[in-house]
Chain A
Amino acid sequence: MLAYVARRLLQSVLILFGVSIITFALLYILPADPARQIAGRSATAQTVDNIREQLGLNLPFYQQYGRYLIGLVQGDLGRSYLQKTEVGTLIWSRLPASLLLMVGAIVCELVLGLTMGMIAALRRGTALDKGLMIFSFVGVSAPQFVIGILLLYVFAVQLGWFPIGGYGTFAHLVLPSVTLGFLGAGWYSRMMRSSLLDVLRQDYIRTAEAKGLTRARVIFGHAVPNAILPVIAMIGIDIGLFMSGIVVVESVFGWPGIGQLAWQAIQRVDIPIIMAVTIVSAVAIVIGNLLADLITPLIDPRIKLR
């Protein structure tokens, strides 16, 4: 187990190294010149050259990357070209909002997804089952910005139940969490449904029913706990999904997280921020996948980590 974790961590470092070099190279070959962008349209050629030199943008690729990597290892993510501040400060100030949103989304997708999946499995073949499965299909396929704007319009503008975007209170958290969790909910309801149906066919369920337990006890005492475990194990993988989702959801709802930061930086080609957000996302995905892999054997002893 320990050896496995150590090996995976080593792999993770290599993956992050790969992500950083690929992203850096892609941003390097962009025709946009950061020095010109900082200098603005009225700058003289001399000003542009000065800035280029000060930022080390005149160095060859390997030296620029080397400088970046040395900084990165020491925890220095550089300075934003356009926001004129430490990228680390920007990320730290926005990370709590993104984490909060992800927790909200996980709660939403579990509550929505598992409930829907359970009902569908228990009412298998009925119109309710079919309705729920169509609904979950919509959840999996609909683009998040559409769901977000729709929820915003109906529940915030028309009904006035929630604030129209923003950050601060629990009420602000609801709609963005539902939007971000909606995709996962659709996914989980389908997994929960098939997992529960699978469990319900098992011998031990028949045994439980045979010894005269009530249906509620059979389902909530035996079937659901067994069906739910493989579903829960997927949460780690969701983190990767969320990392792409927050870019859209945070922009729609004005949520001050790193997704919004990333979107603004991409539009304005603020390279240090794009680099940093990519690396933070990669770290989150790597950790998420690692957690998912570590949890699986705890849930299902038939799986061994080697």
Chain B
Amino acid sequence: MKQLLLSCVAGASFALALGATAAADDIKQGGSMIVTYKDDVSTLDPAIGYDWQNWSMIKSLFDGLMDYEPGTTVLRKDIAEDYTISDDGQTFTFTLRKGIKFHNGRELTAEDVKYSIDRVVNPETQSPGAGFFASIKGFDEASGGAGGLSGITVVDPYTIKFELSRPDATFLHVMALNFAHVVPKEEVEKYGADFGKNPVGSGAFQMTEWTLGQRVVFERFKDYWNTGLPKLDQITFEVGQEPVVALLRLQNGEIDIPGDGIPPAKFIEAMEDPTLKDLIIQGGQLHTGYVTMNVKIPPFDNVKVRQAVNMAINKDRIVRIINGRAVPANQPLPPSMPGYAKDYQGYAYDVDKAKALLAEAGLADGFETELFVMNTDPQPRIAQAIQQDLAAIGIKASIQSLAQANVIAAGGEPDGAPMIWSGGMAWIADFPDPSNFYGPILGCGGAVQGGWNWSWYCNEELDRKAAEADSIVDPARAGEREAMWRDIYVKIMEDAPWAPIFNEERFSVRSTRIGGDDALFVDPVHIPVHYDQVYAKDVQ
């Protein structure tokens, strides 16, 4: 799952945009690189893959209607040549580029786009991304197993029309998700459930080898429609490599990108190492780490108690505990996300005020509670820091350090976990839009058994506002929409169901052989690096 990622996700630097891509055209194609990962690649099926490791690998094998400018969160057309949005914001019509080929040689048409999205929504596919298409007409019937989506019409081989049941401002982002990437029907039917191990798409790379537990090899797709891309001829992904070992191999010149980044235990050493420090690139990411307070469990049903907790936690100290790999947060959205409230002050660290608030809530003597946390380093250490801070205002929190799945299960029960430190499970945006931090984790829809809204906060007024904001599809009114979202998150902080702690920074390492703009190595979408865009210096 995508939220699992802690040390390497989306960094949003808008710096690069168009200029650097234009310059990139002079770069010669050729060469290869080796990327390592600890875990096996689970699947390369765009309908199924949903972890930070396969996310960008899939992006290199498949294409969707939309994508982002490399290194940024700016939407752009991909295999769509153009699109129009109706005035009511409920009809999106895309025209496709002509001559786009799948890796098997067949031309990609609008039928394939329809087939691919119908496939994701079909319950038999078991796609974790089906819900993203809920705004398309006929979703309920299709997700019940009644065939394709009635809202998708193939007008001609190069034109496809989406009719929505409600205006959806995030629809273009959804079309850029991997789940909307295009697969060829004949190959899916040929491999059946094993398509994910035999992926065939229309992307910049095609997969040529997969040795289970050892390596996956991508080679440049010669007939790729976007000529000039990818820059590299070959990428080898070696799996089963511990991050510590991968870093040693990088220093030894054996590999180019340690996909899991710098392990926390080696962080300070690596940042001071003369051979490594120049190879490390830092960027932000669309991540927030937070403490949830279950508003259904007393005394957290009292807003004063929740505000007191917000004031009691010393975030700067926690950032120091993780060696400065993050910046303190005061609201749910990360700073690089559109809609972030720059001027919002949040709850400053103030022990006396926190104590006073507790007293006002009739809890001058404090209370006992539980803080759930995932049991891998550094999460328990962070939880201990929070525990000490809470003790200073009289809250005795016992730490429940459990396996990730168990914490998630406890959070999904209304009476399961009074407090959870989200580290290791924290929300990382699926796409760079403020709405993506709301619905499942702060909206009423997520406050259900098995949901991800672990604070069980449900404010119907804000739900209405959120729906209203998301119905503003007109790009000209994007600023207005952003302001509405900013307002929603500030309102949420008044109710304080979360204590936002920090936004993680991301640190990528590359070998001296691999070139490309810094932003490509902390790309907010293509993680850990933009595989299609980076190049080999030794063939220049």
Residues of A near any B CB (own CB < 8 A)? 30-33, 36-48, 50-51, 54, 79, 82-85, 89-90, 93-94, 97, 149, 152-153, 156-157, 160, 163-167, 250-257, 260-261, 264, 268-269
Question: Distance in Å from the Cβ of B367 to the closest Cβ of chain A?
Answer: 26
On whether the beta carbons of A42 and B430 are closer than 8 Å, the reply is yes
On whether the beta carbons of A254 and B241 are closer than 8 Å, the reply is yes
On whether the beta carbons of A31 and B213 are closer than 8 Å, the reply is no
Interface centre among B50, B124, B126, B430 (most CB of A within 10 A): B126
Supposing A32-B403, A45-B450 touch, asked if A93 and B128 sit within 8 A by C-beta, the answer is no
Residues of B within 8 A of A54 (CB): 123-124, 126
On whether the beta carbons of A89 and B212 are closer than 8 Å, the reply is yes
- Say if the beta carbon of B104 comes within 8 Å of chain A: no
On whether the beta carbons of A269 and B45 are closer than 8 Å, the reply is no
B134-149: contact bitstring with A at CB < 8 Å (1 yes, 0 no)? 1000000001100000
On whether the beta carbons of B131 and A164 are closer than 8 Å, the reply is no
B36 (CB) vs chain A CBs: closest residue: A254
- Say if the beta carbon of B493 comes within 8 Å of chain A: no
- Say if the beta carbon of B214 comes within 8 Å of chain A: yes
On whether the beta carbons of A93 and B212 are closer than 8 Å, the reply is yes
Whole-angstrom CA separation of A89 from B408 in the bound complex: 30
Supposing A41-B1, A82-B42, A84-B196 touch, asked if A252 and B405 sit within 8 A by C-beta, the answer is no
On whether the beta carbons of A84 and B128 are closer than 8 Å, the reply is no
Whole-angstrom CA separation of A79 from B42 in the bound complex: 12
Supposing A40-B1, A42-B430, A269-B405 touch, asked if A252 and B126 sit within 8 A by C-beta, the answer is no
Whole-angstrom CA separation of A157 from B247 in the bound complex: 11
Whole-angstrom CA separation of A236 from B242 in the bound complex: 30
Residues of B near any A CB (own CB < 8 A)? 1-3, 38-40, 42-43, 45, 48, 50, 123-124, 126-132, 134, 143-144, 193-194, 196-197, 211-214, 238, 240-242, 244-245, 248-249, 252, 254, 403, 405-406, 408-410, 412, 430, 440, 448, 450, 452
On whether the beta carbons of A32 and B123 are closer than 8 Å, the reply is no
A253 (CB) vs chain B CBs: closest residue: B245
22 A/B residue pairs, CB under 8 Å, sorted by A: A32-B409, A33-B405, A40-B2, A41-B2, A41-B452, A42-B131, A42-B430, A43-B128, A44-B134, A50-B123, A51-B126, A54-B126, A84-B42, A94-B213, A152-B248, A163-B254, A164-B252, A165-B249, A251-B242, A255-B240, A260-B240, A268-B39
Interface centre among A82, A152, A253, A269 (most CB of B within 10 A): A82
Whole-angstrom CA separation of A195 from B408 in the bound complex: 54
Contact among A30, A31, A38 with B410 in the assembled complex (CB-CB below 8 Å): A31
On whether the beta carbons of B143 and A44 are closer than 8 Å, the reply is yes
Whole-angstrom CA separation of A260 from B40 in the bound complex: 10
Contact among A47, A51, A89, A97 with B131 in the assembled complex (CB-CB below 8 Å): A47
Contact among B128, B248, B408 with A157 in the assembled complex (CB-CB below 8 Å): B248
Whole-angstrom CA separation of A84 from B26 in the bound complex: 41
On whether the beta carbons of A30 and B406 are closer than 8 Å, the reply is yes
On whether the beta carbons of B129 and A164 are closer than 8 Å, the reply is no
Whole-angstrom CA separation of A164 from B258 in the bound complex: 14
Question: Distance in Å from the Cβ of B397 to the closest Cβ of chain A?
Answer: 21
Q: A40-B50, A40-B128, A149-B244 provided; 20 other pairs, C-beta below 8 A? A: A31-B406, A33-B409, A36-B412, A36-B450, A37-B405, A42-B131, A42-B430, A45-B448, A47-B123, A47-B131, A48-B450, A54-B126, A83-B42, A84-B43, A84-B196, A89-B212, A164-B248, A254-B245, A256-B212, A269-B405
Question: Distance in Å from the Cβ of B2 to the closest Cβ of chain A?
Answer: 8
On whether the beta carbons of B131 and A79 are closer than 8 Å, the reply is no
Interface centre among B38, B127, B212, B409 (most CB of A within 10 A): B212
Question: Distance in Å from the Cβ of A43 to the closest Cβ of chain B?
Answer: 5
On whether the beta carbons of B241 and A165 are closer than 8 Å, the reply is yes
On whether the beta carbons of B130 and A252 are closer than 8 Å, the reply is no
On whether the beta carbons of B43 and A39 are closer than 8 Å, the reply is no
Whole-angstrom CA separation of A254 from B38 in the bound complex: 8
Residues of A within 8 A of B410 (CB): 31
Question: Distance in Å from the Cβ of B297 to the closest Cβ of chain A?
Answer: 18
On whether the beta carbons of A254 and B1 are closer than 8 Å, the reply is no
Residues of A within 8 A of B134 (CB): 44
Whole-angstrom CA separation of A218 from B452 in the bound complex: 74
On whether the beta carbons of B214 and A167 are closer than 8 Å, the reply is yes
On whether the beta carbons of A32 and B126 are closer than 8 Å, the reply is no
Residues of B within 8 A of A50 (CB): 123, 126
B143 (CB) vs chain A CBs: closest residue: A46
Interface centre among B134, B240, B248 (most CB of A within 10 A): B240
